[in-house]
Amino acid sequence: ATTKHVVVNWDISHITVNRDDYNLRRAIGVNGKLPIPPVEATVGDTLELNVHNGLDRPTTIHAHGLFQTNNTHMDGPAMITQCGIPPGDSFTYHYTLEQAGSMWLHGHLAHEISDGLRAAFIIRDKPGAELYHYDKDYLLTFEDWFSTEFADRMYHTINPKEEFPPPKSYAYGLVNGVNGNITQTLNFEPGKTYRIRLVNMGDINSFQFSLPGHEMYVIEADGEYSVPYFTDGIDIGPAQRYSVLIKAHNTDAFNYYFNATMHANFISASPGLSPRVYTGKIEYSADAPYQDTRAFYEKPDFKWLNDIEMHSASGHPAMVPNRKLYLEIGNNLYNTGQHLDHINNITF
């Protein structure tokens, strides 16, 4: 198949939105919209991402998951591979797409990612080169969304006179850019096989995904194909991406709910605040009832994904290390009265 030159234009600016169905707030959008539409291309294509910075501060864009072989100057981390794009200026990113998988694009300066500057980036195999067969491809993106901007939350978080976590740090969960309980329905047809891409574009929260009443096989982790791995549920940390294959039932007698529970282990459980449970619909027939699957979560052999058990589909052996690095990661109380994380006693 002929490769393409894909051009995407992003005009980044502040907008006012209500994404969680509760809070109207200032956020960062692209072309006046939020959520930002997914960027899609095919292996072999070149992607030209034209970014205009309409914010009042610098910005950069990182293509999360791309290897960027011989292209590190396009990687995006501010003050590491490039200077920030000044307000009112533009910058063009060029990517040669050599790998298939579920990636994402996000801001990489001043935590603009947390205020909305993030979008799924799907690179498909060339036609006929797919490793696994499926009839349809669905995308589910997960985000934690806060009622205030990141800068405000940071002030309250590092202020030694305030409790941690501050009340405003409890987020709402978004699925495909909207409140997780009102996200789009996924339509299944009996006997067909579906690939569902799961992309956590969140800030600090993980999402536990499961689809009761169906067998689920993981076939991709962070942009790399894997040997099919059976699981009942996947705990998806921030920035992680998985794809699962699900074979639809041979009957449309029942519809089902998928579950996406947002949680953070370092935030104390609080009823109604953390964790938050979201459900979406898998519809076989508009006239069918929804199956009661509560017993699914109570079965003693419920299997969560353990990614250390997974194997790469490429069959390449693990690389043999020839160097050791020692990192001490911790959190200490400093003389400022603040609890700060550190790596080798250097705070970030």
Share of the chain above pLDDT 70, in %: 98
Residues in the chain: 348
pLDDT digits (tens, 9 = 90+) for 10-48: 999 999 999 999 999 999 999 999 999 999 999 999 999
Work out the number of other CB atoms within 10 angstroms of the CB of residue 213: 16
* Cis peptide bond prior to 58, omega within 30° of 0: no
* pLDDT (average), residues 59-87: 95
pTM, entire model: 0.92
Q: Give 275's DSSP letter.
A: S
pLDDT digits (tens, 9 = 90+) for 205-257: 999 999 999 999 999 999 999 999 999 999 999 999 999 999 999 999 999 99
Token pair in block for residue 42: 């095919």
Backbone conformation region of residue 35, classed left if phi is above 0, alpha if psi is from -120 to 50, else beta = beta
DSSP string, 294-313: GGGGG-TT--B--GGG--BT
46: CB partners within 8 A, 6+ apart: 3, 4, 5, 6, 94, 95, 96, 97
Nearest-angstrom CA–CA distance, 34 and 119? 9
* pLDDT (average), residues 53-64: 97
Whether the Cβ atoms of residue 109 and residue 65 lie closer than 8 Å to each other: no
- Which of 204, 109, 219, 106 minimizes the C-alpha distance to 157? 204
> How far is CA 334 from each of CA 163, 329, 347, rounded to the nearest angstrom?
16, 15, 10
pLDDT of residue 299: 82
pLDDT of residue 140: 98
- Which of 258, 250, 314 minimizes the C-alpha distance to 281? 258
Higher pLDDT, 117 or 332: 117
Token pair in block for residue 250: 């041979």
Residue 218 backbone phi and psi in degrees, to 5 = -75, 130
Question: Among the listed ranges 104-113, 266-275, 305-314, which one has the minimum average pLDDT value?
Answer: 266-275
pLDDT of residue 263: 94
* pLDDT (average), residues 262-291: 91
Banded model confidence at residue 347, pLDDT cuts 50, 70, 90: confident
Token pair in block for residue 194: 């579906």
Higher pLDDT, 293 or 127: 127
pLDDT digits (tens, 9 = 90+) for 100-138: 999 999 999 999 999 999 999 999 999 999 999 999 999
Mean pLDDT of the chain: 93
Which residue type does 131 have?
Answer: L
Banded model confidence at residue 196, pLDDT cuts 50, 70, 90: very high
pLDDT of residue 323: 95
pLDDT of residue 162: 78
Banded model confidence at residue 1, pLDDT cuts 50, 70, 90: low
Nearest-angstrom CA–CA distance, 34 and 23? 14
- Which of 296, 134, 145, 156 minimizes the C-alpha distance to 228? 134
Which residue type does 132 have?
Answer: Y
DSSP helix/strand/coil, 221: strand
Banded model confidence at residue 167, pLDDT cuts 50, 70, 90: low
334: CB partners within 8 A, 6+ apart: 340, 347
Q: Give 171's DSSP letter.
A: P
- Scan for tokens 């169906």, then name that residue: 214
Nearest-angstrom CA–CA distance, 176 and 137? 14
Q: Is the pLDDT of residue 195 over 60?
A: yes
Whether the Cβ atoms of residue 221 and residue 229 lie closer than 8 Å to each other: no
